[in-house]
Amino acid sequence: MRSGRAVMMQLLEGPRMSSESNERKPDSAPSPPSAAERRVSARAPSAWGAARDALAAVHNLEALLRSATVANRTILDLLPELRSSADVLREAFDAALGGEATTAAVGAYGGVRVDEFGRLLDATAIAAEDRGALAYRAHFLADELESSADLLALLERASAPVPNEVSINLIVRETARMSGTGRGRELIVRFDEASPDCVVTTDPYAVGPLLAIAVARVYGEGNGEIAVRARCTPPNATLVVEAAGPPDFALPVTAMRVLPAVAPTEMAARRVAERIGSLLKIDPARWAIVVTSAAC
């Protein structure tokens, strides 16, 4: 019989691949970038290596609980390692409390979710037989913790943006493509591309995550399929996210995987837009990201 650690390491392999993709550094691209180098990530890169591994462990608690081949004893043996993961996350979120107001708010929210994760581990220790309910709680908490960590990574990125010239249509396509390496819910997005396309000067590693946040928030208002509309009216380019209607059903379909929005999401999104020199217009069922440097 394999040890608990061996089981955990096997289950960590998939998420770690996703984690590593989040840690790629875009800053090494020469200026001006080539077409290949203009590919953008849907999620903010993060220097939180240890915290990312800890998040993978939280996600895999759900997998352990749902797997019929993993004995309760194995899960109990892994609890000390899972508590260590909680400590790593606690340290990361506590460090954010010393930042500016928005960063501190995200850190505080993440800290509350770490407390909940600790209570989940306590419940697992005494009620491992109720594994279905525990797995459901683990899934919810893992997504909330990852959403919070992504917001902190995005705020960090936006504090020192790296502008590049990139097409507005490419930002949308790459945000959708790269989201496939992440977790969360896969949504159907109808893409109404800019025609003609235009080139914007911005940090795509910040605009892409803002777009994913907008899609998640508009979907969260009870909408089904989402329409993303790229529009170019130099000197501005705008990405509009709203519910798709019947006229949009002829538009090309793409899938975008998004994490659930957490309480500080809107505050953080506004701060990111401000830091990268963009405008963010928010209505309950419509978000617009205005990039203020566009050329056809």
| pLDDT per residue as tens digits for the range 136-187 | 999 999 999 999 999 999 999 999 999 999 999 999 999 999 987 778 899 9
User: What single-letter amino acid sits at 105?
Assistant: A
Neighbours of 282 (CB within 10 A): 16
What's the predicted TM-score (pTM) here? 0.82
> Tell me, what DSSP letter sits at residue 34?
P
**More confident site: 118 or 4:** 118
Q: Are 134 and 65 in contact (CB under 8 A)?
A: yes
Does the pLDDT value for residue 112 go beyond 50?
yes
Neighbours of 272 (CB within 10 A): 26
Does the pLDDT value for residue 105 go beyond 80?
yes
> What integer is the mean pLDDT of 46-73?
85
* CATH number at 164-295: 3.30.565.10
Does the pLDDT value for residue 33 go beyond 90?
no
Q: So where are the chain's domains? A: 4-158, 164-295
pLDDT of residue 128: 61
Distance, in Å, from the CA atom of 113 to the CA atom of 58, rounded to the nearest integer, reads 11
pLDDT of residue 12: 35
Q: What's the CA dihedral at 176, 181, 184, 188 to 10 degrees? A: 30
pLDDT of residue 24: 37
> What integer is the mean pLDDT of 53-74?
91
Query: In the structure, what pLDDT confidence band is assigned to residue 224 with cuts at 50, 70 and 90?
Result: confident
Instruction: Give exposure, 26-57, as e/b (b: 16+ Cβ within 10 Å).
Output: beeeeeeeeeeebbbbbbbbbebeebbebbbb
- The distance from CA 269 to its chain's CA centroid, rounded to whole angstroms, is 12
Which residues contact residue 239 at a Cβ distance below 8 angstroms, ignoring those fewer than 6 apart?
168, 171, 172, 207, 211, 214, 228, 229, 230, 231, 288, 289, 291
For residue 32, whether the previous peptide bond is cis, meaning omega lies within 30 degrees of 0, is: yes
Does the pLDDT value for residue 9 go beyond 80?
no
Using DSSP bridges, classify how beta strands 253-258 and 286-291 pair: parallel, antiparallel or unpaired.
unpaired
Does the pLDDT value for residue 17 go beyond 50?
no
Question: What percent of the chain lies above the pLDDT cut of 90?
Answer: 69
Query: In the structure, what pLDDT confidence band is assigned to residue 41 with cuts at 50, 70 and 90?
Result: very low
